[in-house]
Structure 1
Amino acid sequence: MSDPFTPEVIAQIARHMNDDHADDNVLIVRALGGIPSATAARMSGMDADALEFKAVVDGIEVPVRVPFAERLTERRQVRTEAVRMYRDACAALGVTPTH
C-alpha cells in the first residue's frame, strides 16, 4: 500500500508541529516514544503509520518513531491523531493538557 502523504504535506505538518507544538513533541517522545530523558524533539517526518522525531538525549540527536493508533489514509486524520498522542502523553506523564 502506498503512502497517502506527499513530501510537501509532510513538510507542512512538520513545520506546524515544530513551530507551534515544540513542547508537545517533547512530551510525545518522552511518554510514547520511550525516551523519558529527551530534552528536545522536532518532528522529522511521517508516513501513514507513525510520526518520526529527532530527539535530543544527553546532547545527542536520536531518531524516534511513534506509531499511530491506526494507519492513516487522509490528511485530516493527522491532527486528530497528533492531539490523541499529546493527550495520551500528558496522561502518562501526569501533566495537565493545555489544549
Structure 2
Amino acid sequence: MSEQITAEISDRICKHMNDDHADAIVLYAKTFGDTPNAIAAEMLSIDSLGMNLIAQMNDDATPIRIQFDHPLKDAEDAHHTLIEMVKQARSNSKQNVDI
C-alpha cells in the first residue's frame, strides 16, 4: 500500500511538482482553476480532496483551490490523478487552439 497524504507527503509532492513540472501546474490553474490568464503558478499543498495553488496573473497573485474528481486514497493515487489531470488539460488546450 502506498503512503497516505500527510503534510510531509504534501510537501514532497509540491516540491517535486514546483521544481520539475511547473508547466503542468500552470495548466492545472488555467484548466481547473478558472484562471485562463495565468502566466505562472505554484502548488502550495495537496490533500485527499484537492490541491491549493497560487496563480500569477499580470501583477496579481490569486489563490486557487482545485477539487479532485474523487477522494485520493494515497500518494500513489495522487500521482496517477495528477498525471490524468495534466493529460486532460493538455487535451483541452489543444482543442481550444484548433477552434
Q: Same fold (TM over 0.5)?
A: yes
Q: Which residue of 2 aligns with 1:64?
A: 64
Segments of structure 1 that go 5 or more residues without pairing to the other structure are: none
How many Å apart are 1:48 and its aligned residue? 0.7
CA distance in 1, matches of 2:34, 2:60: 16
Structure with the higher helix share, 1 or 2:
2
| CA displacement at 1:5 relative to structure 2 | 2.0
Amino acid at match of 2:79: R
Deviation at residue 14 of structure 1 after TM alignment: 0.2
Compute the TM-score of the two structures, normalised by the length of structure 1.
Answer: 0.87
Give SS of 2:34's match: coil
| Percent of aligned pairs sharing the same letter | 29
User: What CA RMSD, in Å, does the superposition of the two structures yield over aligned residues?
Assistant: 1.2
1:69-88 pair list within 5 angstroms:
69-88=69-88
User: Which 4+ runs in 1 deviate beyond 6 A?
Assistant: none
> TM-score normalized by structure 2?
0.87
Equivalenced residues, count: 92
